[in-house]
Amino acid sequence: MSVAAWHRLGVADLGRAFARGEASSVDVTQHLLARIERHAALGAFLARDAELALAAAREADARRARGDATPLTGVPIAHKDIFVTRDWPSTAGSKMLDGYRSPFDATVVARLAAAGAVTLGKLNCDEFAMGSANENSAFGVVRNPWDAARVPGGSSGGSAAAVAARLLPAATGTDTGGSIRQPASFCGVTGIKPTYGTCSRYGMIAFASSLDQAGPMARSAEDCALLLSAMSGFDERDSTSAQRPPQDFHALMRAPRDGATPSRPLAGLRVGLPREFFPPGLAADVAAAVRAALAEFERLGATLVDVSLPRTELSIPVYYIIAPAEASSNLSRFDGVRYGHRAAAYDDLLDMYKRTRAEGFGAEVKRRIMIGTYVLSHGYYDAYYLQAQKLRRMIADDFRQCFEQCDVIAGPVAPTVAWPLGAQGDDPVKAYLADIFTLPASLAGLPGMSVPAGFGEGGMPVGLQLIGNYFAEGTLLHAAYAFQQATDFHLREPREASS
């Protein structure tokens, strides 16, 4: 492959090219840095440093020359700016942390660096990961590479847009209520949110602690499996980290199923279709793409099973009580005293708190803090927060019953394709409703992923959502890998990728 096409190689392909001596990490890094500069108008990057990136690439090439390489050694990536980093600013997309430098790396960042991945920079996101469109960043919107007049999805919109535009082969993201899966769907890339506790939250700037989970976004299921293998694992510094042995998700992805054949790799796989995921309000173009993808699953040997998740609609009010409640607690640390923004002029300590928060937080963050404080207040805790937690358990029970009938649950990621920039600015509730299909799995702590599955209105990508049982990431990745071996949706590129 020519130098001009290096940006078209995914994680696995780059690793193989490096191993064969067909490219060096320094050369590929320089090529991608030039592309990032040319496509700055997408708004995907918040921080870049060519000198830092090239130093890491040189070290990766030296490591490979010593025979000490992993599949990720020399592969350029970037991190959602919700992970703290020692060498790069960490802002969480907020003025509150503008210019902040962390004294340490998040565990996810450190583990990927240890595997030899080369960091190109930090990626734009909705402020404190609160949003579904990446329009809430204090540092500007991110644009969808398939149509610059549309949103890329959020809150990991910078990650999804950068991968889709072929600015880099993969990126990290975080998913609280769908913030990996929804932007992956809107931008036509693959993204996976693992089971809660699979990836350490240490060094991830908290939004909602019982929901936040890190995951990779890349071109393909194979690329995601390689990243997830390096990112995951128990971390004693995170009290919510699952005490499980390291997983080779790439091997699990490629392991054949019992009774499967090359022509029917998904033989025996039961795919549950919740009737609540196919309501009358589902856009016709999205429904058509998802149904066609499910027909391909059948051709690959899977069996489609009708199931029910009766409390799907309740996931929206449950999430928008629990997540803001946790946010109001987590964001109380940003008070102008210890670190972050502090108002320049104030009368006393209380006035400093007020002015600092008024200046530092954006409108959506303020809205969620106020909601969270309200539902936790005396007289309302039992009526709202406690009831939401009870319903959360019931939503998890619905999934448990479904998995007695199927191995994987499938459906759309979002009710529509990506909408125009600014279309929902005056109605935040409309954006909240767009999360209806991703919220249930987040509330239950289950793994879920988005797989490119076709195109809808305006030629915009449509993602197929796959949800697995607890710690069944291998099953999800295997199903997605088999689908991608039979289709080419994940290989298609927006016009931005060719320039």
Tell me how far the alpha carbon of residue 357 is from its chain's centroid.
27
403 vs 269: CA distance, rounded Å: 12
Which two three-digit tokens encode residue 158?
A: 């910078």
Place of tokens 């209520």: 177
451 vs 411: CA distance, rounded Å: 11
Tell me how far the alpha carbon of residue 347 is from its chain's centroid.
42
Name the DSSP class of 383.
Answer: I
Catalytic residue among 80, 132, 220, 315: 80
Place of tokens 């997408």: 42
Backbone angles phi, psi at 209, to 5 degrees: -60, -30
Q: 290: which residues sit within 8 A by CB, 6+ positions away?
A: 410, 411, 412, 453, 454, 462, 464
Indicate the SS3 state at residue 139: coil
Told to judge if 80 belongs to the known catalytic residues of this protein, a careful annotator would answer yes
Closest CA to 116 of 64, 49, 60: 60
Which two three-digit tokens encode residue 278?
A: 């196919």
Catalytic residue among 25, 159, 179, 220: 179
3-state helix, strand, coil in the chain (%, to 5): 45, 15, 40
Strand 76-80 relative to strand 170-175, pairing: parallel
Told to judge if 430 belongs to the known catalytic residues of this protein, a careful annotator would answer no
321 vs 391: CA distance, rounded Å: 11
- Under a CB-based contact definition with an 8 Å cutoff, are residues 86 and 104 in contact? yes
Catalytic residue among 155, 156, 200, 315: 155
Q: Is the dihedral of CA 352, 355, 358, 361 positive or negative?
A: negative
Strand 170-175 relative to strand 213-218, pairing: antiparallel
Indicate the SS3 state at residue 72: coil
Maximal CA-CA distance, the chain: 74
391 vs 378: CA distance, rounded Å: 20
Closest CA to 82 of 177, 218, 194, 174: 174
- Under a CB-based contact definition with an 8 Å cutoff, are residues 411 and 278 in contact? yes
Which residues are paired to 408 by β-bridges?
Answer: 271, 468
Place of tokens 């847009």: 161
Told to judge if 179 belongs to the known catalytic residues of this protein, a careful annotator would answer yes
Q: 381: which residues sit within 8 A by CB, 6+ positions away?
A: 375
Place of tokens 């565990």: 107
- Active site residues per annotation: 80, 155, 179
